[in-house]
Structure 1
């Protein structure tokens, strides 16, 4: 196996043919690839299911990544079930990752996961942990394979009987060979039965006790048949029960499309790599289960060494176009390139995503740059780190890097593959101003220093100015503009100024991660803040200044290691939910698969109440027609507004927004700020904004708190756009 593609395929995911088959039932429109030769063309035909997943060959990067993750989950559950008293039942949870693995991938992926999990569990928890992994692999593997092949309960019964006979025969053989162990087991069983008979004699059931002793003695003479029958019946019963429980889970998983996953097209593994020049002719894309296109017809040419910027509002299809350029096949149209995409491989296609934490895999900076490259590849790590502004940090722990530094490290790892095409998808969204300027300085000159085609996806027009040309996807299929005429939702009545304690009060708050360990790190120190009803407060600071930690403390999700955070005079961690928190990464906060289900679940009403769902979506500027849309079919900005819709529908006591403008286009940013200003001024909503940027926040947040290295510092009024602390 060539592991060079592991980094990027593992991050974006690898879709098995079985998974794609579930997404594209017979008669559905799917894509067909013709060969992997120069001038390869991808076109669309109406056909049945996709071909079966390749049976031969070593584990693919996507399979290996999934096997590693599932093995870790299974090993953890097996270890906990052995180590923690009275937790043996938790071992059943280990069947779930193994069932998913067997359902989606080849049997060799399940085998690899079983071996890895078994070794880990044995080293930590001994033979009990190892057997827990084996049991989970058997039950989960049996269910997943049979479900993938479309069989039912009769197949499970037949397979379980044969498995029981095999296990029973193996155990009989072991006991026959290990004579002393067999005699010891029999003596233990006899002693236990003698004890039970003695107890029965005390309660005047001597005859019952004697009968049991006689039955045991007779049974030990025919122990091979009893052992064989015991394992056959036991394994059959366990298999049927596992099938009954896990098959329902897998059935639910069948309806969840992996809309953002990428996989190599048939024949790409052995094809010459040549992602550019690439031509898209009338290409469009529609996610499975959607009623409209995520990307309308697009035609473009991308040449070697060209710098192209792709701009457009939220929902316009920027990320979808990135997936097509990175190898996903379109719903219709023609994609022509000289060879294979080569995702993550030397000379192929490299992708740098919006969240750098998901791409940095090494524990040391230098290790991460070369992680996943083929053995023997010579890379000047120092030169690459200097180019992206990380000179001298080769030996640093990646966990100690700021967001901007992590993003530059992800860029260095991408450049280490000498890609013919580099795709940067909203790479500056989560970075502070200083880090953004440094990143843009690196990106703008890439095509001059490297022979690579650069595709920079952004919704900031200023970031697109350095490109050779810009492709604007403003003709969005979604209604992504803010609905500014929607009525402001009614919030719960709050305390008036001066009549009750402040809404939020932080008294000497400090927080230290890993307290008492060699890895202790101070995030906050001696924070004193008072926030009244209806206040708008901006907490400003660079990456790593402690902003997000402070937000989690104010929401009650983290208890400070010193000091106290009070909500209406009581600790916030005793009132979780009263303060709503919008996470920096919106996708992590969305737990349901559909928009209306998510909003209703967050707000605590039925998704059948379409009027309330529509009102909640309209309050954050989303078209109510998106209610039936799948969560993974939304853009990043739309996801952020769905989260906000659910939070506002709960009528929170205060609202904390962690980087609320990240991922939103300019029009959506203005509309969201205007809506929040109305909520604060007219309904008395207390708003706390966590951001590394204060542009456009003046109306919403008259007060500004500046964090630097975990401590508050004075803020000039002119810089904050309002009064300081």
Structure 2
């Protein structure tokens, strides 16, 4: 199995096992077992059958160890229904195929069941005795009720009483005759039941898969099926361009590029210029035009092949322990000096740490170590410093800049920062290569109580003694915040700065009412924020995780609470954040990172929130997009009285938007010196 298939099988197996265990262990939760068909169906729909088999074995073993035979049978049922639906859907077949396959499967399964009961006579008699005892009990109750009706006259009692006794005798006779012909009865009932269950599963699950098929996985990394010897470098791109499915323009315009073994190449460019698309092409995706020449196969994730370190490290850290993640997915028997690699990236003291406890910078360094464990001939680092604080960024740059001295790997570093590109042997700027259009002059945001810029408004957010502890009361309890207190006036701008792991995101969720603090209070207009979810808008650090619809117009309308058919309101919402109305029909996955962040803001601002919380709003944006977004937010705060709270590890360019600044370190809030020498 390929690493990607193995990772997907692991995740889907865990989901299926969890639903199976809950459906068995929790009383009256049997219906939840049906949810387990969804991960299995998606697995069968998108990957080879071997991935489904692997997930079934893993989930079945987990469910059996925790919930017994019932859990194992639930997993098997989910794998059958999900697998059947996924495979049939992937091959473009329909209901007739499901009927035929389920009939054959039912015949096979139930022939096996009949054969097993024929051989295991004691088990068969035990089952039959149990059925007979249950039926006799029911018949006895019916007979007693019939006699009670006869001895206690009431209307129709003379007809109901004998009828119940007669029905009880008939039931006993019918069950006795049915058990006499048990092979036929068991076989017919089993086939019919399996066909009905298969049809119900097909009807429900195929609709889920239909909706999933409409979402193009445009940024998916998937190793091509190529058995040729691994040889990703030297690589030569000749007039290579790429256009995503259903797009009306190229995401990457024609590019010429040569990368030699051991070369350090920096790729820069504005958001939407095609940097990530170029990464996908170098990692093995076929271009829509032009040619890519290599001496061998790309070897994505294979020893001596191509390794990719992505912008969001949590998406590629799979091991639960730091040392385990370094070798996750490597072929059995591969010898790796884990401690040397961890020392190289500055994590040698964290080998036994849980990966869930690492900060963003530590996760990025771990991803680099896992990539180097494959001794790649080509290492691609895709904006790996954009989500980490300054300290983490410096550490990562130190690791990347020293690769040529320690490894014979060609390094392609995709970055927004000019200082990061200076250490490269050569630099390519893609700013003229992609879709950098779609920005227009902004219009006024729909706010309810605008305030002049020079006035200080009433308190909007009041945070008093807020503390928060995750997994409180357990051995895994972890304190994220301690005694945090501050007040934000209407129309104010507050910057809460701090490094990775300082508690900024936790505080952002508390301010938005999505998390209830363990201690203290967080009030919006005098009431707890968790009682007013939606009144405070929150823009996530990773904008893509907040976009739930397939198209821009549907996303904005859904977030703001109006119909996407209202084209004027959609256009107005987009204009507020400086986006052209032509983007309304664009698919979300065809947007650049900066455009995604603006679409999120468009939906949030169209709801006229009392305050706007921005968690790392500049992460992953180029310099031009950063300045444009800051200017937009400054105008909204000053002219429309929008209250803004920014969580960021970087204060560059933030002083106009956020005149007030505090520092969050280790979950504790501290004032910091301002440009005038005072404290805020």
Please, what TM-score do these two structures have when normalized by structure 2? 0.93
Task: Give the Å deviation of 1:498.
Answer: 11
CA contact (8 A) 1:494 1:533 kept: no
Residues 565-596 of structure 1 show CA distances to partners (whole Å, capped at 9, x for unaligned) of 11111111111111111111111111112222
CA contact (8 A) 1:283 1:298 kept: yes
Question: Using the alignment, how far apart are the partners of 1:636 and 1:539 within structure 2?
Answer: 23
- Residue 217 in structure 1 maps to residue 176 in structure 2: yes
* Counterpart mapping for 1:24-39 below 5 A: none
Question: Using the alignment, how far apart are the partners of 1:722 and 1:256 within structure 2?
Answer: 52
* Counterpart mapping for 1:323-722 below 5 A: 323-480=280-437, 482-483=439-440, 485-493=441-449, 502-718=459-675
* Counterpart mapping for 1:59-458 below 5 A: 59-197=1-139, 198-199=141-142, 201=146, 202-203=148-149, 204=161, 205-266=164-225, 268-269=226-227, 271-458=228-415
Task: Give the Å deviation of 1:466.
Answer: 1.6
Q: Find the counterpart in structure 2 of residue 23 from structure 1.
A: none
CA contact (8 A) 2:360 2:500 kept: yes
Which runs of no fewer than 5 residues in structure 1 stay unpaired?
A: 1-58
Question: Using the alignment, how far apart are the partners of 2:342 and 2:530 within structure 1?
Answer: 42
Task: Give the Å deviation of 1:261.
Answer: 1.9
Question: Using the alignment, how far apart are the partners of 1:553 and 1:722 within structure 2?
Answer: 31
| Between 356-365 and 121-130, the greater mean CA deviation after superposition | 356-365
| Between 455-464 and 442-451, the greater mean CA deviation after superposition | 442-451
The 3-state SS of whatever aligns with 2:661 is: strand
Question: Using the alignment, how far apart are the partners of 1:246 and 1:264 within structure 2?
Answer: 28
Question: Using the alignment, how far apart are the partners of 1:247 and 1:272 within structure 2?
Answer: 39
Task: Give the Å deviation of 1:82.
Answer: 0.7
Task: Give the Å deviation of 1:129.
Answer: 0.9
Question: Using the alignment, how far apart are the partners of 1:637 and 1:306 within structure 2?
Answer: 30
CA contact (8 A) 1:494 1:653 kept: no
Task: Give the Å deviation of 1:376.
Answer: 4.2
Question: Using the alignment, how far apart are the partners of 2:529 and 2:30 within structure 1?
Answer: 35
The 3-state SS of whatever aligns with 1:101 is: helix
Task: Give the Å deviation of 1:371.
Answer: 3.0
Question: Using the alignment, how far apart are the partners of 1:574 and 1:722 within structure 2?
Answer: 39
Task: Give the Å deviation of 1:451.
Answer: 2.0
Residues 384-436 of structure 1 show CA distances to partners (whole Å, capped at 9, x for unaligned) of 33333334333443333322222122222222322221111111101111222
CA contact (8 A) 2:3 2:301 kept: no
Question: Using the alignment, how far apart are the partners of 1:501 and 1:175 within structure 2?
Answer: 78
Question: Using the alignment, how far apart are the partners of 2:62 and 2:40 within structure 1?
Answer: 15
Question: Using the alignment, how far apart are the partners of 1:388 and 1:137 within structure 2?
Answer: 41
How many residues in Structure 1 have an aligned counterpart in Structure 2? 662
Question: Using the alignment, how far apart are the partners of 1:182 and 1:683 within structure 2?
Answer: 78
Indicate the RMSD between aligned Cα atoms, in angstroms: 2.2
Q: Find the counterpart in structure 1 of residue 154 from structure 2.
A: none
Question: Using the alignment, how far apart are the partners of 2:51 and 2:347 within structure 1?
Answer: 37
Question: Using the alignment, how far apart are the partners of 1:298 and 1:498 within structure 2?
Answer: 52
Please, what TM-score do these two structures have when normalized by structure 1? 0.87
Residues 595-648 of structure 1 show CA distances to partners (whole Å, capped at 9, x for unaligned) of 221111111111112222222222222232222222222222222222111111
CA contact (8 A) 1:702 1:723 kept: no
CA contact (8 A) 1:384 1:412 kept: yes
The 3-state SS of whatever aligns with 2:494 is: strand
Q: 1:537 to 1:309 in 2, by over 3 A?
A: same
Question: Using the alignment, how far apart are the partners of 1:228 and 1:133 within structure 2?
Answer: 22
Question: Using the alignment, how far apart are the partners of 2:79 and 2:175 within structure 1?
Answer: 33
CA contact (8 A) 1:481 1:668 kept: no
Task: Give the Å deviation of 1:481.
Answer: 6.9
Task: Give the Å deviation of 1:69.
Answer: 1.9
Question: Using the alignment, how far apart are the partners of 2:391 and 2:7 within structure 1?
Answer: 34
Question: Using the alignment, how far apart are the partners of 2:426 and 2:456 within structure 1?
Answer: 59
Question: Using the alignment, how far apart are the partners of 2:82 and 2:323 within structure 1?
Answer: 39
The 3-state SS of whatever aligns with 2:491 is: coil
CA contact (8 A) 1:702 1:722 kept: no
Question: Using the alignment, how far apart are the partners of 2:530 and 2:569 within structure 1?
Answer: 29
CA contact (8 A) 2:480 2:666 kept: yes
Question: Using the alignment, how far apart are the partners of 1:169 and 1:390 within structure 2?
Answer: 57
Task: Give the Å deviation of 1:259.
Answer: 1.2
| Between 696-705 and 203-212, the greater mean CA deviation after superposition | 203-212
Q: 1:616 to 1:157 in 2, by over 3 A?
A: same
Q: 1:498 to 1:566 in 2, by over 3 A?
A: farther
Task: Give the Å deviation of 1:125.
Answer: 0.7
Question: Using the alignment, how far apart are the partners of 1:637 and 1:341 within structure 2?
Answer: 30
Q: 1:723 to 1:85 in 2, by over 3 A?
A: farther
CA contact (8 A) 1:317 1:473 kept: yes
